[in-house]
C-alpha cells in the first residue's frame, strides 16, 4: 500500500531545501577557492564542497523525518541498486554544478521520494529565483504554492529545451542530430544546464518539451512527478515509462507534442 506523505513532512522537506538554497546562494567565486572543486571520473564532471555539504544536510534532515528511508544521492556511493520496496529518496544536492561553478545562477536542489517504486513526492528548489516547485502524488503540482500546469502549444510554436549529455560524449553525434531535427520543426531550442529545472519549466508552461540522453535518477525523479501532476508526459525515447532508480534517456512534454517529438528523436 502507498501512504500519502503528510503535509507536515512535506513542509519539513521544503524547509530543508530552502536551507540548502541559502548555502548555494552564500557561495562566491567557487573556482578561486582552494580545494573547493574536485574532478569526478568521466568528461567535465565536477563536484564542489557545496554539493557535498548540501547533500549531508539533506540526508541528515530527511533521515530525522523518515528514519526508515534509503538514500540514493549523487555524491555518495550508489553501487547498491536502489531498493524496490520501502521509501527511497533520490537526491541531487546541486543539479547544475557546472553552472554553479561558473556563477550562471541556474542550478537547483532536487529531492524525489518513491515508495515501493512509485513516486509519491517531489520538490525542486531554484534558490536564485526563489522558486520552489513541488508535487505530491494525485494532488497537483505547485510553484511557490500556486497550482501550475503545462502549456498547450503545438510543435511549431514550441520552445524545447535539450540536454547535451555532457558526461556521455559518445552520444554527441546522435544528440546533436536529434536536436537538429527537432530545431527544424519548433520555434527554438534552449539549453539551461539543469535537468531538474528543464523539467519544471515544462511543468509550468514556460517551455513545451525537454529531452536528454542518459539522465541519472536523481536528475529526473522529482521533476518527473511534478511534470505528471502538472498534466505533462514523461517517457523514455522508446515511449515507455522510465524504470525507478535507473538511468534513462527521457522526453518530457506538454503531452500535445509528445508523439511527434518522439518520432523526430527516433528518426
Ligand atoms: C547535470 C545537469 C545537466 C545535464 C546533465 C546532468 P549535474 O547534472 O542537469 O543539465 O545535462 O545530464 O547530469 O551533474 O550538474 O548535477
Ligand atoms: Ca544532476
Ligand atoms: Ca548534481
**CA 218 to ligand 2 center in whole angstroms:** 6
Residue 163 belongs to a domain: yes
Query: Does residue 135 share a domain with residue 169?
Result: no
**Which residue owns the Cα nearest ligand 1 atom 6?**
195
Q: Which atom of ligand 1 is nearest to the CA of 98?
A: 15
CA 75 remoteness from chain centre: 15
How many domains would you assign to the chain? 2
Give the C-alpha separation, 99 to 91, whole Å: 18
In this prediction the pTM is 0.96
Residue 2 belongs to a domain: no
Residue pLDDT, tens place only, 92-116: 999 999 999 999 999 999 999 999 9
Query: Does residue 162 share a domain with residue 133?
Result: no
Query: Does residue 125 share a domain with residue 165?
Result: no
Residue ending a domain, among 106, 124, 147, is 147
- Residues of the chain with confidence (pLDDT) below 70: 1, 40, 44
Query: Does residue 51 share a domain with residue 23?
Result: yes
Query: Does residue 237 share a domain with residue 204?
Result: yes
Query: Does residue 234 share a domain with residue 122?
Result: no
Residue 176 belongs to a domain: yes
Residue pLDDT, tens place only, 2-34: 777 999 999 999 999 999 999 999 987 777 777
**Which residue owns the Cα nearest ligand 1 atom 16?**
95
Query: Does residue 170 share a domain with residue 116?
Result: no
Query: Does residue 57 share a domain with residue 19?
Result: yes
Predicted local confidence at residue 66, as pLDDT: 96
CATH number, position 225:
3.40.190.80
Residue ending a domain, among 115, 147, 179, is 147
Query: Does residue 192 share a domain with residue 167?
Result: yes
Q: Looking at the chain, how many residues does it have?
A: 267
Residue ending a domain, among 147, 182, 201, is 147
Strand spans (E) along 53-140? 70-73, 87-95, 108-115, 118-126, 131-136
Query: Does residue 117 share a domain with residue 160?
Result: no
Instruction: Identify the residues whose C-beta falls under 6 Å from ligand 1.
Output: 74, 92, 95-98, 163-166, 193-195, 212, 215, 219
* Residue 113: domain span: 7-147
Q: Which atom of ligand 1 is nearest to the CA of 94?
A: 16
Give the C-alpha separation, 225 to 117, whole Å: 13
Amino acid at each position: 500500500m502507498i501512504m500519502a506523505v503528510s503535509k507536515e513532512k512535506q513542509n519539513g522537506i521544503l524547509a530543508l531545501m530552502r536551507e540548502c538554497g541559502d548555502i548555494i546562494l552564500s557561495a562566491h567565486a567557487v573556482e578561486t577557492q582552494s580545494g573547493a572543486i574536485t574532478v569526478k571520473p568521466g568528461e567535465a564532471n565536477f563536484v564542489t564542497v557545496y554539493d557535498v555539504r548540501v547533500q549531508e544536510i539533506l540526508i541528515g534532515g530527511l533521515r530525522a523525518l523518515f528514519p526508515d528511508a534509503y538514500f540514493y544521492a549523487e555524491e555518495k556511493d550508489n553501487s547498491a541498486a536502489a531498493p524496490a520496496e520501502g521509501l527511497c529518496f533520490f537526491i541531487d544536492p546541486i543539479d547544475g554544478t557546472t553552472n554553479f561553478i561558473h556563477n550562471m545562477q541556474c542550478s537547483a536542489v532536487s529531492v524525489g521520494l518513491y515508495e515501493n517504486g512509485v513516486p509519491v513526492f517531489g520538490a525542486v528548489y531554484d534558490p536564485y529565483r526563489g522558486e520552489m516547485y513541488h508535487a505530491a502524488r494525485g494532488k497537483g503540482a505547485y510553484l511557490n504554492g500556486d497550482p501550475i500546469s503545462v502549456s498547450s502549444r503545438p510543435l511549431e510554436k514550441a520552445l524545447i529545451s535539450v540536454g547535451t549529455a555532457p558526461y556521455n560524449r559518445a552520444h554527441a553525434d546522435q544528440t546533436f542530430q536529434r536536436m537538429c531535427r527537432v530545431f527544424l520543426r519548433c520555434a527554438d531550442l534552449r539549453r539551461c544546464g539543469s535537468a531538474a529545472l528543464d523539467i519544471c519549466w515544462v511543468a509550468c508552461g514556460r517551455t513545451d518539451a525537454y529531452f536528454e540522453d542518459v539522465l541519472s535518477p536523481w536528475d529526473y525523479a522529482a521533476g518527473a512527478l511534478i511534470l505528471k501532476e502538472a498534466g505533462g508526459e514523461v517517457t523514455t525515447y522508446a515511449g515507455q515509462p522510465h524504470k525507478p532508480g535507473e538511468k534513462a534517456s527521457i522526453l518530457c512534454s506538454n503531452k500535445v507534442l509528445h508523439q511527434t517529438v518522439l518520432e523526430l528523436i527516433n528518426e
